[in-house]
Amino acid sequence: MRIPIADVTPETTEAEIIGWVHEVRDLGGLAFYIIRDRTGFLQVTIVKKKAPETVVEATKETSRESVVRVFGTVKATEKAPGGRELIPDTFEIISKAESPLPLDVAEKVPAELDTRLDNRFLDSRRPRINAIFQIRSNITQSINDFLFKEGFVNITTPKVVAAATEGGTELFPIAYFEKEAFLNQSPQLYKQMMMAAGFEKVFEIAPIFRAEEHNTTRHLNEATSIDVEFSFADHNDAMDLVEKIVIQAYESVSNNCENALNTLNVDLKVPENRFPRITYSEAIDIAALGIEEDISYGDDLSTAAERAIGDEMGEHYFITDWPTSIKPYYAMPFEDQPEICKAFDLMHPRMELSSGAQRIHQYDLLVEQIKEKGLSPESFEFYLKPFRYGMPPHAGWGLGMERLIMTMLNLPNIREAVLFPRDRHRLVP
């Protein structure tokens, strides 16, 4: 019966393994086959004069990345990976791989990112790539577990919608029978509607779509957003929660993904329990000292400005108290300073990770803000209706999964953090 490679120890007497042929070293009378499964590597050593003829014949037909089944005796040896080797009694080719391979899974020959993404199924066999997605899986599980323990309800919102969430034009139109429709850019409106439904605490981890024409290393057109909304809360409560979520994700990876982190050569530093909070005005002042371009109050922060502020802060931090004019219509203005709103961005020194706010829950003020943004309240009637029938105060945020992973693992390109990335030029695979 087949056992995982990780369970084959120097004390094991015999084992049957199934995996991919990772490397081959044929020295004439002696051959070494490194077999890989999702749990690790095992060296199969073949002394051709002593090995069964069926084993020798099978290895002659074996190519790298073929799937093989091997059964034999396990011997302890310091020279082999993991301090053990398998001396085969049988060697069966289950599925032969064509040669040459589109890319080198053993990573001795580097491949361009486009080549890797065109052959993602093969690229993901590489231990380093596999490690990224082991970590991503752990982050997803840890965030789900944390939010369930905090009493949040998991919801699913539509990805085909009739109106823009934030009024932007960066939408993917689609054919929906006789009607105009779009791929949703955020679950924002539906999360808020669930506050009127009395759910109080909801979350969703799901795809969002942005038709932004960019070609940067930190943008995707289909991304995964971790979205939260909860009632009887303000922007400070929302910041406290997303702070805990990020720290929880780091702690979970640190505690549970040691092998994956070692494979990636990442020395993970868990953030401190409190992220600094600076106001938008303070952020503008810091940026003005660090960049050559002109920047003034009321401007959105450019990439260069974010980088300058990140260099100064050197850790995760929040930017708070944004001008109402540059945040979405649903951000709650301060009562005594309506030109400033209770919105925030969670930043990593490299980039923005999350955006959130206390939301407007008063119908009249929300309609007024929608008009201020040059939008039509009639287009948002389905969204506005719950605000007329008892909407509690509430707050929430969206956190980018890929950006969280990219910054945590110091990946050079956000496409590394998603199995099948969608950008301006990539639709297949």
Distances (CA, A) of 188 to 128, 163, 345: 35, 12, 16
Question: With contact defined as beta carbons under 8 Å apart, do 424 and 221 qualify?
Answer: yes
Q: Is 49 exposed, middle or buried (0-12, 13-18, 19+ CB in 10 A)?
A: exposed
212 included as an active-site residue: yes
Tokens of 200: 């109080």
Distance between CA atoms of 285 and 308, rounded to whole angstroms? 11
pTM flag (> 0.85): yes
Whether the Cβ atoms of residue 72 and residue 90 lie closer than 8 Å to each other? yes
Place of tokens 């070692």: 262
Residue 403 bears catalytic tag: yes
Range from 16-25, 137-146, 333-342, 374-383 carrying the lowest mean pLDDT = 374-383
What values do phi and psi take at 421, rounded to 5?
-70, 145
Strands 340-348 and 160-161, by their bridges, are unpaired
User: Structural domains in the chain?
Assistant: 5-95 (2.40.50.140), 121-276+315-417 (3.30.930.10)
The residue annotated as part of the active site, out of 36, 84, 116, 403, is 403
Give the angle subtended at the CA of 66 by the CAs of 60 and 71, to the nearest 5°: 75
* Of 180, 131, 205, 95, nearest in space to 416 by CA: 131
Residue 229 falls in the annotated catalytic set: no
For the chain, how big is the Rg over CA atoms in Å?
27
pLDDT tens digit sequence for 26-57: 999 999 999 999 999 999 999 999 999 999 99
Is 355 assigned a catalytic role? yes
Kindly tell me the sign of the dihedral angle through the C-alpha atoms of 168, 169, 173, 177. positive
Count of CB atoms within 10 A of residue 387's CB? Answer: 20
Could you read off the pLDDT of 77-92 as tens digits, one per residue? 999 989 999 999 999 9
Strands (E), 48-140: 67-76, 84-95
Is the Cβ–Cβ distance between 235 and 358 less than 8 Å? yes
3-state secondary structure labels for all residues of 188-211: HHHHHHHHHCCCCEEEEEEEEECC
Q: How far apart are the first and last CA of the chain?
A: 35
With a CB cutoff of 8 Å and minimum separation 6, the contacts of 38 are 4, 130
Give the sign of the dihedral formed by CA 261, CA 262, CA 264, CA 266.
Answer: positive
Q: How far is 40 from 75, CA to CA, in rounded Å? A: 17
Residue carrying structure tokens 């004439």: 28
Instruction: Encode pLDDT of 126-180 as tens digits.
Output: 999 999 999 999 999 999 999 999 999 999 999 999 876 665 558 999 999 999 8
* pLDDT over threshold 70, residue 59: yes
Q: Measure the CA–CA gap between 38 and 245, rounded to whole angstroms.
A: 28
- Mark whether 210 is an active-site residue: yes
Is 125 a known active-site residue? no
pLDDT computed for residue 166 by the predictor: 64
Task: For residues 397 and 346, give the distance between their C-alpha atoms in angstroms, rounded to a whole number.
Answer: 10
Query: What local confidence, expressed as pLDDT, does residue 165 receive?
Result: 65
Please state which of the ranges 12-16, 96-100, 177-181 shows the lowest mean pLDDT.
177-181
- Tell me, what's the pLDDT at 273? 76
Of 210, 348, 359, 361, which one is the catalytic site residue? 210
Confidence (pLDDT) at 398: 98
* Tokens linked to 144: 């789900």
Pairing of strands 277-279, 222-231: unpaired
**408 vs 401: CA distance, rounded Å:** 11
Catalytic-role residue among 92, 170, 200, 212:
212
Catalytic residue among 36, 225, 355, 359: 355
Catalytic-labelled residue, pool 16, 200, 251, 352? 352
Which of 420, 404, 416 shows the shortest CA–CA distance to 143?
Answer: 404
Mark out the alpha helices in 197-274 (DSSP H runs). Answer: 235-256, 258-264
User: How is residue 171 written in tokens?
Assistant: 């939408």
The H or E element that residue 132 is part of is: helix 127-149
Residue 218 annotated among the catalytic residues of the structure? yes
pLDDT band at 296 (very low <50, low <70, confident <90, very high): confident
What is the identity of the amino acid at 173?
A: P
pLDDT of 163 reads: 73
Strand partners of residue 69:
18, 92
Nearest Cα residue to 188 out of 357, 323, 406: 357
Whether the bond into 429 is cis, omega within 30 of 0: yes
Select from 260, 163, 242 the least CA-distant residue to 404. 242
With beta carbons less than 8 A apart as the criterion, state whether 146 and 246 touch: no
CA–CA distance, 329 with 367 (Å, rounded to integer): 9
Q: Which of 23, 120, 150, 218 is catalytic?
A: 218
134, 109, 125, 129: which is closest to 41 by C-alpha?
A: 125
